[in-house]
Structures are given as structure tokens and as C-alpha cells.
Amino acid sequence: MNIIKLRVEHLNALYNLENECFLDNAWEKEMLRNEILKKNNINLGLIENKTLIGYLIALNLGEEIEILKIGVDSQCRNRGVAKRLITSFLDSAKKNGIQKVFLEVSEDNISAKKLYEYFGFKKIYNRKDYYKNGLSADICVLEI
Ligand SMILES: CC(C)(COP(=O)(O)OP(=O)(O)OC[C@H]1O[C@@H](n2cnc3c(N)ncnc32)[C@H](O)[C@@H]1OP(=O)(O)O)[C@@H](O)C(=O)NCCC(=O)NCCS
């Protein structure tokens, strides 16, 4: 397993993984491309046997950063891939002088909520009716 910086050459694999992870809420390929091309973002992939099995996309806002996406191949879940991505992401964010990390998570996404709690994210707000399916979003923050 090794962690890499996402580049345009990963776009097709990233797009496939995004669809697998987010189904109806998956981003279009162009949106993924736009984020990959942003120089200040922290965009990481995890490669195993030459295949992209996990990714994290974060929009850098200077002192703050927002995790826009994190996803892991469904065949490779529950063995620490997301934890490795977030650990590496937090290292880079600290080195970049970032102080706060924000993210949003659907209220019913138990695995993601457990993952964020593990890293110390705290819920600061609940945005009602946020998703197409009527579920609300928890807005969470971590000071680093
Ligand atoms: C959420 C997601 C990224 C987790 O990836 P993962 O690689 O399976 O997570 P990890 O193996 O690193 O798990 C880390 C921690 O998360 C929690 N966790 C992960 N899967 C879990 C599950 N099915 N049930 C409960 N807790 C779970 C545990 O606390 C786990 O710690 P542990 O290994 O000490 O038990 C993955 O399930 C996924 O891609 N889901 C679809 C996309 C998505 O919902 N993204 C998040 C949007 S906010």
C-alpha cells in the first residue's frame, strides 16, 4: 500500500471509485478533474497492487480545509484504508499551516461518523434536509 498525490492520470480510476462509493451523489468526471488540478488542494490516493483503492479530496481555504470526498473500494473496507488516508492528510495539512478541518457527513452514515470520531472530529451543526433523500448533514470540525 502506498499513498500518492492524485493526478490527472488517475482520473478514470478515481471516477469509477467515486461512482461505486457515492452512487447517485457521485460527482461528474469534470468536477473531479477540477479538484485534482487545484494546486493548493490536498488530494490523496491509496494504491495497492497498482490499483487505486481509496481517495481523499480536500479543498484548501488557507487556514481552513474542507474534506470534500473520502471513499474506499467496497472490497477493501474495514481494514484501515480510510484511517491511513486521513492520517496522511492530517500530516500534510499541519505542514501547510492549516488549523481547522471541516467536513460534512450524512446523519445515517455510521461507518463514516465512527471514523471521524476516532480522529476527534466534533459535530458543530446539523443542517436539515441537506441531501436529496431528505436526510440531514452533520457539519464537523477538527482543530489541528
Ligand atoms: C467511510 C469509509 C470511507 C470508511 O473506509 P474504511 O477504509 O472502511 O475505514 P477504515 O477501515 O479505515 O475504518 C476506520 C474506522 O472507521 C470505523 N468504521 C469503518 N467501517 C465501519 C463500519 N462498517 N461500521 C462501524 N464502524 C466502521 C471504525 O471506527 C474503524 O476503526 P477500527 O478499524 O479501529 O474499527 C468507507 O466505508 C466508504 O468509502 N464509504 C462510502 C463513501 C462514504 O460514505 N464516504 C464518507 C462520506 S462523509
The pLDDT of residue 133 is: 85
- What CATH number has the domain bearing residue 139? 3.40.630.30
Residue 24 has pLDDT above 90, yes or no: no
The pLDDT of residue 143 is: 98
The pLDDT of residue 107 is: 94
| Residue 100 CB burial class (10 angstroms; 0-12, 13-18, ≥19) | middle
Query: What residue type is assigned to position 113 of the chain?
Result: K
Q: Tens of pLDDT along 89-138?
A: 999 999 999 999 999 999 999 999 999 999 999 999 999 999 888 999 99
Q: Does the Cβ of 68 fall within 6 Å of ligand 1?
A: no
Instruction: For residue 58, list its beta bridge partners.
Output: 42, 67
Task: Classify residue 107 by its DSSP letter.
Answer: T
* Cβ 32 vs Cβ 77: under 8 Å: no
pLDDT-based confidence at residue 1 (cuts at 50, 70, 90): confident
Structural domain harbouring 125: 2-143
pLDDT-based confidence at residue 75 (cuts at 50, 70, 90): very high
Q: How many domains does the chain have?
A: 1
C-alpha cell at 20: 461505486
* Cβ 101 vs Cβ 93: under 8 Å: yes
Distance 71 CA to ligand 1 centre (A): 9
* Cβ 85 vs Cβ 46: under 8 Å: yes
Distance 134 CA to ligand 1 centre (A): 23
- Nearest atom, ligand 1, residue 112 CA: 1
Neighbours of 34 (CB within 10 A): 12
**Ligand 1 atom 8: residue of nearest CA:** 77
**Ligand 1 atom 22: residue of nearest CA:** 111
Task: Classify residue 92 by its DSSP letter.
Answer: H
Q: What is the mean pLDDT of the chain?
A: 97
